[in-house]
């Protein structure tokens, strides 16, 4: 009898593991395992090399065969892994992006339905000189906050200029209705400042980016700083009537409508030209705030100028935005055809049946 090449080794293993090997019947070149089959009590023959090659391969266990536990556990783990919720990546500095995008959608709905129509109506109903006077009056009331924060930032020169501006506009400017201090003969324009800037000046991190309805883009540091500004104005203004609802409500409403009316063109361009308006607005805000904080430290020669998208107190007739800051938010220089307006960006007070003026 001629044994296959591996037969001696297998036979030897059988003898070592279970005693003397079972002798195959005459005329058959098969080697028998030493452990009996549990179902039939018979030993299982191991086929020869020629028989093994002729046998078809089985990719799945046959009926009655015992399925290994690994084949059962692995698909279950794979199914559980696939059904587990996937973590959505967020942009740097915006860990609450999912929440912020929902709030952005809420603000967008409010803006389309209420805020923008009211702002455009405010533009058409209230004469331009009256709008400017109200804007200057509200701006003048924030000058004590600007003065205080320049002192906290150890900038006595700018604090003194702010104090002079406030005094001139409060007297000669009829309570701030006329912005006399910005005239070239005096040269003291409004400089936005607040507790958010002071916290950033002392290296307090901005925290997570936030987008809140009726507030807009902000971050945790600026949001808390803004609340401190709002609480401090009535204190510096000696209480009544600046801490009464009769003043606070009109101040918030008129200031908000004026800000939305001024920024309408910028926001329309943003919504019409951006693939992702939320991400574009976030990028502009974060870059602008970083530039303002850096300017307090005189880094890179940048100037502290607020973006027109967020500064509600800038006078559009006397824009003090520096060329560098304007270039930061200006559109690309490539010639791009103006996108078609959507219902969200069309002026609700313009008659669509009247052809536009050429």
Contacts of 310 (CB under 8 A, 6+ apart): 216, 217, 285, 288
Is there a domain that residue 260 lies in?
A: yes
To the nearest 5 percent, what fractions of the chain are helix, strand and coil?
50, 5, 45
Q: Average model confidence (pLDDT) for the chain? A: 74
Q: How far apart are CA 134 and CA 177, in angstroms?
A: 6
Categorize the per-residue pLDDT at 342 as very low, low, confident or very high, splitting at 50, 70 and 90.
very low
Is there a domain that residue 344 lies in?
A: no
Each residue's pLDDT tens digit, 197-253: 999 999 999 999 999 999 999 999 999 999 999 888 777 765 677 777 888 888 889
Is there a domain that residue 90 lies in?
A: no
Domain that holds residue 212: 97-328
CB count in 10 Å sphere of residue 69: 8
Q: What is the mean pLDDT of residues 12-24?
A: 46
What local confidence, expressed as pLDDT, does residue 57 receive? 54
Q: For 29-68, b where at least 16 C-beta lie within 10 A, e where not — what string?
A: eebbbbeeeeeeeeeeebebeeeeeeeeeeeeeeeeeeee
CB count in 10 Å sphere of residue 8: 11
CB count in 10 Å sphere of residue 188: 18
Categorize the per-residue pLDDT at 339 as very low, low, confident or very high, splitting at 50, 70 and 90.
very low
What local confidence, expressed as pLDDT, does residue 31 receive? 47
Is there a domain that residue 92 lies in?
A: no
The most confident of the ranges 44-48, 203-207, 265-269 is: 203-207
Is there a domain that residue 278 lies in?
A: yes
What local confidence, expressed as pLDDT, does residue 312 receive? 44
Q: What is the mean pLDDT of residues 124-145?
A: 93
Count of structural domains within the chain: 1
Closest CA to 308 of 296, 320, 300, 298: 320
Dig out the tokens for 94 from the structure.
Answer: 């915006």
Closest CA to 191 of 227, 146, 229: 146
């Amino acid at each position: 009898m001629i044994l296959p090449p591996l037969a001696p080794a297998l036979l030897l293993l059988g003898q070592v593991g279970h005693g003397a090997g079972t002798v195959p019947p005459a005329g058959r070149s098969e080697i028998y395992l030493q452990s009996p089959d549990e179902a039939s009590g018979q030993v299982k023959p191991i086929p020869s090399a020629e028989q093994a090659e002729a046998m078809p391969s089985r990719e799945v266990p046959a009926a009655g065969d015992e399925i290994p536990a690994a084949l059962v556990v692995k698909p279950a783990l794979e199914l559980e892994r696939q059904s587990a919720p996937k973590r959505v990546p967020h942009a740097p500095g915006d860990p609450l992006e999912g929440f912020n995008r929902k709030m952005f959608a809420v603000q967008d709905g409010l803006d389309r339905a209420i805020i923008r129509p009211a702002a455009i109506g405010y533009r058409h109903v209230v004469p331009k000189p009256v709008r400017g006077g109200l804007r200057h009056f509200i701006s003048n009331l924030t000058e004590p906050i600007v003065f205080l924060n320049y002192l906290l930032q150890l900038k006595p020169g700018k604090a003194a200029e702010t104090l002079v501006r406030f005094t001139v506009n409060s007297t000669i400017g009829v309570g701030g209705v006329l912005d006399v201090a910005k005239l070239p003969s005096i040269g003291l324009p409004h400089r936005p400042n607040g507790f958010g800037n002071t916290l950033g000046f002392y290296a307090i991190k901005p925290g997570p980016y936030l987008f809140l309805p009726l507030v807009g883009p902000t971050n945790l540091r600026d949001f808390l700083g803004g609340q401190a500004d709002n609480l401090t104005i009535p204190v510096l203004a000696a209480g009544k009537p600046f801490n009464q609802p009769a003043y606070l409500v009109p101040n918030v409403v008129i200031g908000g409508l004026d800000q939305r009316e001024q920024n309408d063109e910028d926001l329309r361009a943003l919504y019409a030209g951006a693939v992702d308006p939320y991400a574009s607005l976030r990028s502009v805000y974060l870059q602008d705030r970083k530039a303002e904080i850096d300017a307090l430290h005189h880094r890179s020669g940048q100037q502290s100028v607020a973006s027109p998208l967020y500064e509600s107190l800038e006078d559009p007739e006397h824009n003090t935005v520096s060329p560098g800051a304007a270039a930061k938010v200006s559109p690309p220089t490539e010639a791009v055809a103006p996108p078609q307006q959507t219902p969200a960006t069309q002026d609700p007070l313009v008659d669509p049946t009247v052809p536009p003026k050429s």
